[in-house]
Amino acid sequence: MTQQYLALIEAEIKREKFGKSPQSLYEPIRYIMALGGKRLRPLLTMLSYALYKNDARRIARHAVAVEAFHNFTLLHDDIMDNAPLRRGKMTVHEKWNVNTAILSGDVMLVKVYDRFLDLPPALLTEVLTLFNRCAAEVCEGQQWDMEFEQRTTVTPAEYLMMIRLKTAVLLGFSLELGALLAGASAADRAALREFGVNIGLGFQLKDDWLDVYADKKKFGKQVGGDIIANKKTFLLIEAQRKAKGAQRNELASWLRATKFNRQEKVKAVTAIYDALGVGASTERKINFFFNKGFACLSRLAPSPERDKLQAFVEALIQREA
């Protein structure tokens, strides 16, 4: 069933041209949308809708709206991060230029709204109210992320707040959108939204953990990349909070260093993490959010479709790349 929904999503993306002229404005949108990815968010929208109705094809355009918004955020994030690559391909601002990337992102967001305009007026108002809240929160999360990069210390609570806004709320919206379009009850919509937010938190924390502890043969990027870049992950924040004496000084020294052997730094910082137990404590936090998410999902009436949604998410949880 998931493959069927994915095929619908890809067909909708391929069909949509987003606009014609000037080509230099719309081609970057088609480019980034064609780069692929898991299509997690539109899949969650369709799986959520399928809990209540069996005509998920009808909402393909609305599910793709969520994917377009997600890619809009990536397009602008890549500019802010000065990232050269996205999914192994040149980022839009590198392939074209920064100004084009900004404008293409702007019109991309406008096209998200266009995809909801066929909804009945009352439903349109509700969808846009939820979407606007979500979109603002994603921007808030990105701003917090940038501010945290300039700060010496960030608390675990602040970090969880940031990733909830930047990453998790969009998963919650994706699930709630599908339920709303299917006419689900307010209680079910809330349960699905909370399910999405909690698994989103779990996914981001697992990404942090995998960057340090993933199997090198299975991991899709360099193990230890976050350590090399001094990225404020949950593990680093926990290590800074727990480290004392010589460990604290050694960790601070690695964070200050501008010239270093990459493998040596990864090995040394990982050893500090191991000594402080932050890998294990992060795993406990990951499991806490996943378990909390599935508890939210269990508030829905049992059905084969609920089992499919749970199985889909469980398969994602088991990933190692």
Question: Which pLDDT score, from 0 to 100, does residue 109 have?
Answer: 97
Q: Return the C-alpha torsion angle 21, 22, 23, 24, nearest 10.
A: -160
Report the pLDDT value the prediction gives residue 192, as an integer from 0 to 100. 98
pLDDT digits (tens, 9 = 90+) for 67-89: 999 999 999 999 998 888 888 89
Residue 318 burial (CB count, 10 A):
6
Strands 89-90 and 85-86: antiparallel
- Residue with tokens 């900004």, as numbered in its chain: 102
Do 289 and 251 touch, CB atoms closer than 8 A?
A: no
Alpha helices (runs of H) in 219-298, residue ranges in sequence order: 225-228, 234-242, 245-256, 262-276, 278-297
Report how far apart the first and last C-alpha atoms of the chain are (Å, whole number). 23
How far is the C-alpha of 291 from the C-alpha of 67, rounded, in Å? 26
**pLDDT value for 215:** 77
Residue 275: the pLDDT is 97
Q: Which CATH number fits domain 1-118: 1.20.20.10, 1.20.200.10, 1.10.600.10, 1.10.510.10?
A: 1.10.600.10
**Considering the entire predicted model, what is its pTM?**
0.94
Reading the block at residue 103, the tokens are 């404008």
CATH class entry, domain 160-321: mainly alpha
Alpha carbon 288 to its chain centroid, in Å, reads 18
Residue 220 confidence (pLDDT): 55
- Predicted confidence at residue 234, as pLDDT, reads 97
Nearest to 63 by CA among 50, 80, 75, 73: 50
pLDDT of residue 119: 97
The list of the chain residues with pLDDT below 50 reads none
**CA nearest 50: which of 178, 183, 190?**
178
pLDDT digit string, tens, across residues 230-247: 999 999 999 999 999 999
What does the pLDDT read at residue 92? Answer: 94
- Whether the domain at 1-118 and the domain at 160-321 fall into the same CATH topology: yes
Residue 174's identity, in one-letter code, is S
Domain residue ranges of the chain, discontinuous segments joined by +: 1-118, 160-321
Rounded CA-CA distance 101/103 in Å is 6
Q: Rounded CA gap, 10 and 230, in Å?
A: 36
* Residue type (1 letter), 199: I
